[in-house]
Each structure stands twice: as C-alpha cells, then as structure tokens.
Amino acid sequence: MVKICCIGAGYVGGPTMAVIALKCPHIEVVVVDISVPRIAAWNSDQLPIYEPGLEDVVKQCRGKNLFFSTDVEKHIADADIIFVSVNTPTKTRGLGAGKAADLTYWESAARMIADVSKSNKIVVEKSTVPVKTAEAIEKILTHNSKGIEYQILSNPEFLAEGTAIDDLFKPDRVLIGGRETPEGQKAIQALKAVYANWVPEDRIICTNLWSAELSKLAANAFLAQRISSVNAMSALCEATGADVAEVSHAVGKDSRIGSKFLNSSVGFGGSCFQKDILNLVYICECNGLPEVATYWKQVIKINDYQKNRFVNRVVSSMFNTVSGKKIAVLGFAFKKDTGDTRETPAIDVCKGLLGDKARVSIYDPQVTEDQIQRDLSMNKFDWDHPIHLQPMSPTTVKQVSVVWDAYEATKDAHGICILTEWDEFKNLDYQRIYDNMQKPAFVFDGRNIVNPEKLREIGFIVYSIGKPLDAWLRDMPAVA
C-alpha cells in the first residue's frame, strides 16, 4: 500500500488529503501537525475549518485510510510521498520584510524529513512558495541525506475557499513540476498516478519545477488584478453615474475577457492574493525588474484604496462623523461559505470606523468572537503564523461587540455595513431592521447583494459600490 503523509493540517492539507483518501481507497493518507488541539478537532465532530462538503468526505474515510495524528516523525518515516503544506507567511522583519515569504516553517519541515527518513522519499510542495524554494529544500535534504534519495515536486493548490471540495473533485487543472532528470520524471509519474484515480489525464499538467512554482503566483496575481481593475472602475462609475454591474456585464461578455472575478466589492481578502503579489513584487525587485514590481504593487494599492474609500464614504455620509454611533457590520469572513478571516477587508473597515470612535456590532455566521477580537488587535501578517506565536491574549477592543444574530447587530444602529456576501443577508427582513434603527438609517453594501431601490422604498439611505449614488450621498461626497 502506498503511504502518503501530509505535514500541516490547515485549509490546504486537510481538505486535499481527505479527497485523496476518498478517491484512492488503496492509499493510506495521514495528516500530521504539531498542534494537538487542531488534530483533536480533525478527529472530532467539530472540524477546525468550515468548508461545504468537507465533513461528509472526512467522515467517509476517517479511521479507514485517512488518519490525523501528532506523531509527526513516525508518519514521515513511514511515508512514500510527503506533502508539505505548512504556512509561508510574509516576513515581518529582516531582509524583504513586508514582501518576502518567510520559509522558517518549510525549512523546519525539510530538516525533520532529513532527520527521520530511512527510505527514499518524494517530497511535494503543496504550500504557496516563492520561486526556487524547491531548490533550497533540495539542498537541505541532499546535504543531510545519509544515502537516501529525495525527489522534490511542486504541486501548487488552486483551491477557492467556499468551493474547495468541488475544486478538488473537478479541478480545472492539476499542476506537477519536477526535475527534468529520469528520477525526477519518475517521481512526477508517481504523483500523477495518484491524481489519475479521478482527474482526467488531459487536466494533469507536468512542467519543470520553476514553472510550477511561478504559475501559482501568476494565477493569483492575475485574479487579484481583475478585482482591483473592476474596483478602480467602481470609483469612476460612482463619479459619473454609471452602474458597475452593467459595465462588468458588458465587459464580461467579451470572450477574450470573460465574466469571472469582475464583481466589484469593498476589496479582496484571503490568505493568498496579497501575500502572493507581495512575494511576486519581491522576486521582481531581487531580479532587477523595478518597473514590473511597481506594476504589481499597484494591484495592492488599489485594494487598499477601495477599503479606505468605503470607510470614507461611511463617515462622510453620516455628517462626517461616526463618533459614538453604532455601526452594524454584517459579515467578517473574507467571503461567504468560509470562516476564514485572513486579510479580510472587514478588518481594515472596522479599524477605520473604530479610529473615528464608532461603536461596532458584528455578526458573522461562521466567525467566533475570539477570532474577531484577535484579528482586530493583531499586527499585519501576524495571522499567518502558528497560533502559539500570535499574541497570547489579544486585548479586547472595547468598542466592539460580537453577536450571533443580524437583528441584534442592527438594533439601534445608525448604519449597516455589509462586508461578506452571505446568502442570508439577501433575505433579511429589512423592514423590521429599519424599524429598529436610528434615523436616518444607512446601508453601505460592500458586496452589492441587496436591492438598493427596495431598501430606499423602505426608507434607507443606500450606498452600493459602483452604483449610481443616492441623492443624499451626492450631496455629501466621499472625502479623500
């Protein structure tokens, strides 16, 4: 029986290994992590991450050919194929701080593999890593090999949170990069044989190592660029009276462009887009390409601008101050169908409102109060480090209350900010909400999910990103 071990039981490792176990019952799959609480959660009825369909897959396989363990060394030693799916956070200090990826956890994993291995291994990069990481890992392993042969493969993930299980069942492509040596090609074929159990062969792309590593960064950069492009257009739409939804629809009908990732919003978030673009910027700078670095930096700048613009619109619309006013925030996760809050625009919007002394009441169906308080009190990039390296007990932000009901969040509020596109927010009883709010009552829709005209009929003053402005808002332009 082929044995697979995955180091790292997070958003990538857990779901990916669960699907491999389901689709390959002849393969033993073990997910290992040094975090005892995380592994305990994977072995319980309350999984540590929320992803539609994940629980069902785990329950079908767990205890049969899918296992979760803290006995890291044993399972690394036993494995034929080792997936490494540890965090690669952005460096917070030292060379490349704020842009370069921190490979501390990757290096630790590589050294552990070298220490405990007694047989030849295929080591697979599953984390998002900077180009040439495989070369660095290869050097660590070969210099500590003790006669054992290692083949390094790059197998980047292209999962979208909220649809990860579907993405794994029916991937657009599976990318495997390896050395162009006979041994490297043999390793590629071994990993390809795993995916071939359910992925059509024409969707499994084999490349060299560097192409595979760079393709992941490039894909995320292109997607983030589309969001920043449409968000830049949303500001122009508001200024001219155009409707960004109509503009996006017209642009998306061009077959060369397509309609995906053209929805304007308060900004993009998640664990990959910003981190990968900053990584790309750093690689460009290190390779003497300052103009290319500046180009990609602008994608991040537009994203920050969009969040700032949203906060400014809230404050300026409400008589230029939200001091002492209750603002209800509906949604804190960076997108619907996930509890992930990494780089969520909600953090910057809430901090902006708190900076103007607002009282913020937050409701999200999947995010805990502890997570929200932690996010609002942490420094940038702290979120991507293991939890034991994050601030131990974050200071509670006193002007923030976290509630478990949208109606409680909006009761006596002066304004509502919709920051995640949860389906339930489309179907709330807005008449009931309006009746229980302070007047004038404002709705600031950061995801364009509500019908502005229906809300105006109720009595709300409504701001939807990139849509023609409410007469009230035209009289109170957003400050820069």
Catalytic residue numbers?
A: 272
Question: Beta strands 121-125 and 81-84: pairing type?
Answer: parallel
Q: H or E element: which one contains 417?
A: strand 415-418
89 is in an annotated binding site: yes
306 is in an annotated binding site: no
342 is in an annotated binding site: yes
87 is in an annotated binding site: yes
157 is in an annotated binding site: no
90 is in an annotated binding site: yes
Measured CA distances, 473 to 308, 319, 348 (Å): 17, 11, 22
Q: H or E element: which one contains 401?
A: strand 400-402
127 is in an annotated binding site: yes
Measured CA distances, 378 to 283, 394, 396, 419 (Å): 27, 7, 11, 20
415 is in an annotated binding site: no
181 is in an annotated binding site: no
459 is in an annotated binding site: no
Question: Nearest-CA neighbor of 123 among 218, 193, 190?
Answer: 190
323 is in an annotated binding site: no
Task: List the structure tokens of 326.
Answer: 């209750």
Asked if residue 267 lies in contact with residue 306, where contact means CB atoms within 8 angstroms, the answer is yes
8 is in an annotated binding site: yes
Question: Nearest-CA neighbor of 109 among 123, 97, 96, 120?
Answer: 123
266 is in an annotated binding site: no
**DSSP per position, 132-176:** THHHHHHHHHHHT-TT--EEEEE------TTSHHHHHHS-S-EEE
Task: List the structure tokens of 185.
Answer: 């090609």
94 is in an annotated binding site: no
Measured CA distances, 103 to 94, 97, 160, 176, 283 (Å): 13, 12, 23, 21, 14
Annotated binding site: 8-13, 33, 38, 86-90, 127-128, 161, 272-275, 342
Annotated binding site for NAD(+): 8-13, 33, 38, 86-90, 127-128, 161, 272-275, 342
